[in-house]
Amino acid sequence: MTARVAVVTGAARGLGEAIALRLAADYDALVLADLTDRASGECAQQWEDVTSEVSRVRCDVRDAGSVRELFDRAEEFGDPVALVNAAGVGIFTPLLEIDEAMWDNTFAVNTRGTFLTCQEFLRRTESASAIVNIASIGARLGGDMLAHYGASKAAVIELSHSVARVGASRGIRCNTVMPGLILTDMWRQTIAFLRERDPGLASLSDDQVFQGFVEQMVPMGRPQEARDIAEMVAFLLGDGARNVTGQTVSVDGGAVMT
């Protein structure tokens, strides 16, 4: 039988890595793409227990050639039947300070990267299969600090609708997950940026600054964890969601209610 392969981008750390670890239970092989072919080391212990085949590929999702090579690699292991786009960038920046380079790079990674991998997946995949794109509650909130990021993620949601329509008759589903607030490197970079600007934050730890955002934004009053996102992704990729496509699901303790 042909091996079932899951491709996950942004899998070297953070949410992408947590999603990949969760998918190890469901797929024969994982092909993990990131700018680096090394894991952060944070989950080293958990990777030791994984029995699926794992291949790490250096891939820049902004680049079509790099994405083609990623799928060439994936096909060496079997049938790519699942794709998760978790590669992403974005730190808080006031709207009036976002320059063209920051705008373009945010869209290049978050939106073009997701487009290129979805397109390549649709070109190559014949089997019933599924895609999950990781957007963000930033796509639905507006706000001074996230104009570039939110717009790039809103584009991911609409792109996912098109992918879902194109794939539907071939049994290829595509859904989007909007994570809430998870303290990963992305948030740590944002906290470092905010601390530089606001002397009032200097005496607070990363956890304390982050908790302040959680209290402001999350009705349930607690942060999300990477495994919350990973569970939703696994569900949407799996057979339990066989009639779910073109949907956007928030995992955010009620921050965005749709």
Ligand X SMILES: NC(=O)c1ccc[n+]([C@@H]2O[C@H](COP(=O)([O-])OP(=O)(O)OC[C@H]3O[C@@H](n4cnc5c(N)ncnc54)[C@H](O)[C@@H]3O)[C@@H](O)[C@H]2O)c1
- 3-class SS at 239? helix
Under 8 Å between Cβ of 223 and 208 = no
For ligand X, the binding residue among 6, 24, 89, 233 (CB under 6 A) is 89
* Helix intervals (H) in 169-253: 185-197, 206-217, 226-237
**Secondary structure class of 31 (helix, strand, coil):** strand
Output the CA angle 105-107-110, nearest 5 degrees: 105
Nearer to ligand X by Cβ, of 171 and 247: the residue is: 247
State the Cα–Cα distance between residues 168 and 178, nearest whole angstrom.
22
User: Residue 61: CA atoms inside 13 Å, Cβ hemisphere, count?
Assistant: 31
Residue (23 or 182) nearer to ligand X, CB: 182
Q: Say whether residue 150 binds ligand X (CB under 6 A).
A: no
Q: Which of 71, 149, 187, 210 is catalytic?
A: 149
* The binder of ligand X chosen from 70, 181, 237, 241 (CB under 6 A): 181
In angstroms, rounded to a whole number, what is the distance separating the alpha carbons of residues 120 and 163?
A: 11
Please state, in angstroms and rounded to a whole number, the distance separating the CA atoms of residues 153 and 140: 9
Range 203-222, binding ligand X (CB under 6 A): none
The reply to whether 8 sits near ligand X by the rule CB under 6 A is no
Positions 97 through 136 that interact with ligand X (CB under 6 A): 109, 113, 134, 136
Among 4, 14, 230, 250, contact with ligand X (rule: CB under 6 A): 14
In the residue annotation, 27 being an active-site residue is answered as no
Find the part of the chain contacting ligand X (CB under 6 A) among 84-92, 158-166, 192-200, 206-214: 84-92
Distance CA 173, CA 242 (A): 8
Min dist. Cβ of residue 227 to ligand X (A): 13
Q: Does 167 bind ligand X (CB under 6 A)?
A: no
Name the residues that contact ligand X, by CB under 6 A.
9-10, 12-16, 34-35, 59-62, 86-90, 109, 113, 134, 136, 179, 181-182, 184-187
